[in-house]
Structure 1
């Protein structure tokens, strides 16, 4: 294609060049039949097709079209001829400065930045016979060292083929750090809610103010004085003497570095014991957390390994082999209710691992507190000659003078609170009378479970006044004394009599529903507990029927409020009551429950 050397072509648009018949630098009279348009454009030499970049102070260039001048169709970007010369066009300024559209060819700019112009709208529109040129959208591209373009989210997104020198950029973008889910995943392999300050145990059992002070002090002294192999304190006692309350105070006041309070109420998986301890230590100590993180990253199956394997990795390695901690420190680990762990074999395995650790690593900084009932399989292990050097025994006796005095303190304070809460009792000079109080205190002895059950039975009822219920308690006590029940031979005999009296107060027509609810509260492992509302729905009980069925068990059963039935389920105050129900010789009750509900489980 040939061009006249004296002619010039003016590029008004990025895609389609607009031909002009001639060009000049001098203005024409306004009366001319031709029309003017002021265009700041790059002039393309017709001989070389090379672009001449315009200067910032370029003079307006006037295109003088002829009758053959083409008009651009903005919808198709095609050229067509004017039928007659159009009216004069007016220049539309862009941001009060000359606008230089891109050349039609791949011209090289002297600037270090070579923008690539992309027009997303038609190149021009007609406004009052004026050509309006839209400003371009410039999209630079980021380039790698090897020249490969890639697209980011920054200010140069989708740009390409340019470089920038001697410039300063400030990036105000916000980059979020990926979340670390290690501890969340670790938590799923623990006994959730078993720590001493867990909301699942709130309010936890605590010693009454001014009670159990001597035992608690001896436990604290053991932490300071223990040395060598003797690093286990075995707190042992019958059901209801207050072992968990003692361990709770010790855990709070020291405080414990890790604690696990086993319970038949859903926190009894012994296979997760050491993972639970490790998790709590990882929460407190950064170096331990990093050690466990590395161990689990190296072997993700660690959290599902056997108890011995976990004990080596969670206890032996960090405290003995890796020396993560100062050996002069003391790390307190509390295990309460070991007898409530789900498997006697697991209980013995746990004790064996801990005792062997203390014997083989006498310089260990870890001090262990283990509280349990004197179950035969636990007692026999502690009596093993090989284990004897590893522990000392703290026995919580029922009928010691110290225990009896503390139970009396508790009874006196709680019964006085009941008196102040009921106007019908406040006018009485003494309630209960001295003789009545002595009977209750004698029956309770040093058994806090008995005393607390009496207090709840008398003071928490919604259907009878405290004075009447006190009479019921005294009748049970008199019957026990008449039968010459010996606590020495049967430590819980008087408590059993109290439990039987509580059940006898339930009307026969209500007992049907009470039996079902008691069964689903943990007496039978065929039932998977969720919450109180779910339990009632499965049993087909209305809210009124359900609360009526448990209203007589306020002394032994924790019942969620009506507005909290989705989050909580009914639970026993003390394990001695489900033990009583499950022993047919003591209650004559449990076998009947299971027989009567076999049909229910079938459906």
Structure 2
């Protein structure tokens, strides 16, 4: 037997040459001898991709140099012209081959001991090979490394703080048990079968503080538990994470969550990232195609319809109005329209949650189409006041039960009259009630006494119980180009209630210009009011018979406005709460109004 290979143990069954060339499985391990791989040597204790130097001789137990006959084809294949291994040329080798080939040693196990490669066949023979360079290749490991790199690349371009279950959004607002049930049912029914609504996009909208995010969060958690949530993105202007302020990471964030919730599509998304790592610097349209639509098209061509139909399809986008600016918001809506329109990829449906900002209203009016979007207005809900009463009752009762000095609390506290007062001041908006409850939970005094002081506005200024509400109002008012005009309009509303025999309930279309001049507004009255549609309720009534002499039609539209929330007036007339430059001094405003009216 040739002198650098030794056979130990009983005679091995000699396999036929055809047994040395089986079809290679896609995930295999190999060892390169003379740069040619020998498959099956998976237990090497050498570093991957490195070469190991072995002693310059190999012998059997008697000191004889031996080579088993069945290894001749391996040495024959391995001995190439570009070899860097010194093989004893006394071996009976066949002519050199031009390129290395990959082969398998059948029915064998391998190990490296003391610098020697030991191959144990199932027949009992042990083969030792020395004086060779070995390089390991790991197809499975290489695939895993490539996949991991793609996932890491994707992770570097997402906004994890925008997930519904992100750590930054720990303990997010959610619907109180037993509240918002009818609205939740409508949304979940839409998620289950959008065809019943003849739409693939739902727009849930309502004024500031209406509890939209709490509803979106609760629905997202419900769908996630049912494995029906594809992805979610919660925009926020107030977030410490800058990536929640804009749309640049929206598609990557959705794609990442889809990978977590739909493992079947992972290889296809990873493949797209490997093909084009720069995809994250391209347009949102290109990202959508590459990271979501193409992978789902490939998945659909591989998997049966019954498998694809079970894949989550609902995407929730909350706080769209808090995405940087109107142009960015419209880009998001455009992308979502492309997403739900690609039914050949996957039948996604989207739930968009926002305030009724003018540009968003216009998009749904003009670009979405009735066949695309279904609208759900929180202001139309008949359960608002009842839900707020349930929430306040439960929370204040819990405070009473946990308060250690119960003898200081009035009997039966909280009373129905207290609950009703909070509900009335809430004006159908959960944020006021939630702010009141949170303050009482954290105050140090007797809860009933602190609540009475809060409702009567006799708390010391430093207490700042409505800091969260104030921050919300400040954010909305200061970002509008008509912020100072809003102060004037709020003054006019209060002026009419104080000095007129009837409340301010509307402005005739023909009088809009007069109101604009009277208040020195920088834009038409109705233009300004619609820009604050999350704070002011503004409606064009049907034409009424109030024709002026020069109005041939005999009819004019009646426009009217009022705050959604009574606390807006409290905020804007309190110099300690309103931002500097936006405080309404009612007495000064009234004086100026009289001067303007009487021309003095």
| TM-score normalised by L of structure 1 | 0.54
Distance 1:292 1:217 in 2: 33
Change (3 A) 1:177 1:385: closer
Distance 1:109 1:459 in 2: 85
Using the TM superposition, give the Cα deviation of residue 214 of structure 1 relative to its aligned residue in structure 2, in angstroms. 0.4
Using the TM superposition, give the Cα deviation of residue 270 of structure 1 relative to its aligned residue in structure 2, in angstroms. 0.7
Change (3 A) 1:400 1:586: farther
Using the TM superposition, give the Cα deviation of residue 391 of structure 1 relative to its aligned residue in structure 2, in angstroms. 0.7
Q: Secondary structure at the match of 1:254?
A: helix
Bigger RCO of structures 1 and 2 (CA < 8 A, at least 6 apart): 2
Aligned residue for 2:269? 292
| Counterpart check, 1:585 vs 2:582 | yes
Distance 1:109 1:467 in 2: 95
1:131-150 equivalences in 2 (<5 Å): 145=79, 148-149=84-85
Aligned residue for 2:172? 204
Q: Is residue 426–residue 433 contact of structure 2 (8 Å, CA) maintained in 1?
A: yes
| Counterpart check, 1:184 vs 2:171 | no
Distance 1:477 1:443 in 2: 16
Q: Secondary structure at the match of 2:113?
A: coil
Q: Is residue 293–residue 342 contact of structure 2 (8 Å, CA) maintained in 1?
A: no
Using the TM superposition, give the Cα deviation of residue 467 of structure 1 relative to its aligned residue in structure 2, in angstroms. 3.0
Aligned residue for 1:167? 126
Q: Secondary structure at the match of 1:323?
A: helix
Q: Is residue 355–residue 387 contact of structure 1 (8 Å, CA) maintained in 2?
A: no
Aligned residue for 2:440? 458
Q: Is residue 425–residue 431 contact of structure 1 (8 Å, CA) maintained in 2?
A: no
Using the TM superposition, give the Cα deviation of residue 477 of structure 1 relative to its aligned residue in structure 2, in angstroms. 10
Aligned residue for 2:253? 276
Q: Mark the structure with the bigger radius of gyration.
A: 1
Aligned residue for 1:409? 390
Q: Is residue 230–residue 315 contact of structure 2 (8 Å, CA) maintained in 1?
A: yes
After superposition, what is the alpha-carbon deviation per residue over 1:142-176, rounded to whole angstroms, capped at 9, x for unaligned? x96457449xx9435399xxxxx942579xx9x99
| Counterpart check, 1:111 vs 2:63 | yes
Give the paired residue count.
Answer: 371
Q: Secondary structure at the match of 2:563?
A: coil
1:10-409 equivalences in 2 (<5 Å): 111-113=63-65, 145=79, 148-149=84-85, 154-155=112-113, 157=115, 166-168=125-127, 177=141, 179=145, 180-227=148-195, 230-255=199-224, 256-264=229-237, 265=239, 266=241, 267-320=244-297, 323=300, 326=305, 328-329=309-310, 331-359=313-341, 361=343, 364-384=346-366, 387-397=369-379, 400-409=381-390
Distance 2:447 2:570 in 1: 16
Q: Is residue 231–residue 258 contact of structure 2 (8 Å, CA) maintained in 1?
A: yes
Q: Is residue 572–residue 578 contact of structure 2 (8 Å, CA) maintained in 1?
A: no
Distance 2:160 2:247 in 1: 12
Q: Secondary structure at the match of 2:340?
A: helix
Q: Secondary structure at the match of 1:279?
A: helix
Change (3 A) 1:260 1:109: closer
Q: Secondary structure at the match of 1:423?
A: coil
Change (3 A) 1:341 1:169: farther
Distance 1:239 1:485 in 2: 23
After superposition, what is the alpha-carbon deviation per residue over 1:77-112, rounded to whole angstroms, capped at 9, x for unaligned? xxxxxxxxxxxxxxxxxxxxxxxxxxxxxxx99733
Q: Is residue 574–residue 583 contact of structure 2 (8 Å, CA) maintained in 1?
A: no
Q: Secondary structure at the match of 2:456?
A: helix
Distance 1:492 1:584 in 2: 23
Distance 1:378 1:272 in 2: 20
Q: Is residue 232–residue 367 contact of structure 1 (8 Å, CA) maintained in 2?
A: yes
After superposition, what is the alpha-carbon deviation per residue over 1:366-397, rounded to whole angstroms, capped at 9, x for unaligned? 11111011111111000015533211011111
Using the TM superposition, give the Cα deviation of residue 492 of structure 1 relative to its aligned residue in structure 2, in angstroms. 5.3
Distance 1:367 1:109 in 2: 73
Distance 2:325 2:431 in 1: 25
Larger helix percent: 2
Aligned residue for 1:470? 451
Distance 2:346 2:378 in 1: 27
After superposition, what is the alpha-carbon deviation per residue over 1:418-464, rounded to whole angstroms, capped at 9, x for unaligned? 222323445521223333322111111321101000111222124x4
The more displaced of 287-296 and 383-392 is: 383-392
Distance 1:389 1:306 in 2: 27
| TM-score normalised by L of structure 2 | 0.54
Distance 1:435 1:387 in 2: 46
Using the TM superposition, give the Cα deviation of residue 336 of structure 1 relative to its aligned residue in structure 2, in angstroms. 0.8
The two structures, once aligned, show a CA RMSD in angstroms of 4.3
Using the TM superposition, give the Cα deviation of residue 497 of structure 1 relative to its aligned residue in structure 2, in angstroms. 5.7
